[in-house]
Structure 1
């Protein structure tokens, strides 16, 4: 431990500590364990959960002053928590999908989608989330979710060489 102390008696570690707002520290102490349990359940490994919770609190700290002005701090910070965990889960799934096998090449095709299209497809068809929930998680409008879903299906159709007809939603005669 003596190598961590300078000749003048000060410690480089103690000097490196950034002053954090007291309210933020209290928020961290109060919520860190619950956030970790949620991330662990969703992500499945302690390392992934710790990484996610670290990202969550970094994001909260970056927006701390604005979050304090919100009417419901708990709701806003939990929303950040959920978004970070979902994002990390999607990134992890994208990496795993390249190792999966499909007779028609679906997994390889999915892994070639742009990130936003991939996210929308996974959230809609694997997680079974509705458009409203997807738009909230991704921070985009409902119409943008529908756009990305439509474009992803078109791209998958091209990659898989499938002929997918759009649904007849206007009530036209077939």
Structure 2
């Protein structure tokens, strides 16, 4: 028994490693999660509050989270739960449709077709909200938020081929139309 404990790193080292892994996880996801929550709440401050609450909970449970089959999928499920609870308490549905307004503010002023584009995007975003949940999430995470297919697969706790399938099915259901959106820039 003593031989086994001699090989274990000191507790301080474990705590430091846990803190470093959580900081890296937070750095990788916080900005995009805020964008995702903002798309669904329509409120930047609320999105930040939701993400802060989720990350706080995950930070307190980090050793437990790392023992899950997929830390990303567990964390994503927690974010989705907090977001659903926030919407339910307020009796609201996803604000994905109104997210199209944010796209117009990023267009050049001289663009004469921006209101037509806005109208098309609003119709597209409304259609996206009617997709099955996994297709909606795969499409929004990859095409609006900017995650790679591999990152989406990790978040959803599935493999890349299934994510590509969800995205393909979603695009076929939506038919041809304006582009889904521009991913959030960053890592």
TM range (shorter): 0.3 to 0.5
Question: Which one has the largest radius of gyration?
Answer: 1
More helix by share: 2
Output the TM-score relative to the length of structure 2.
0.44
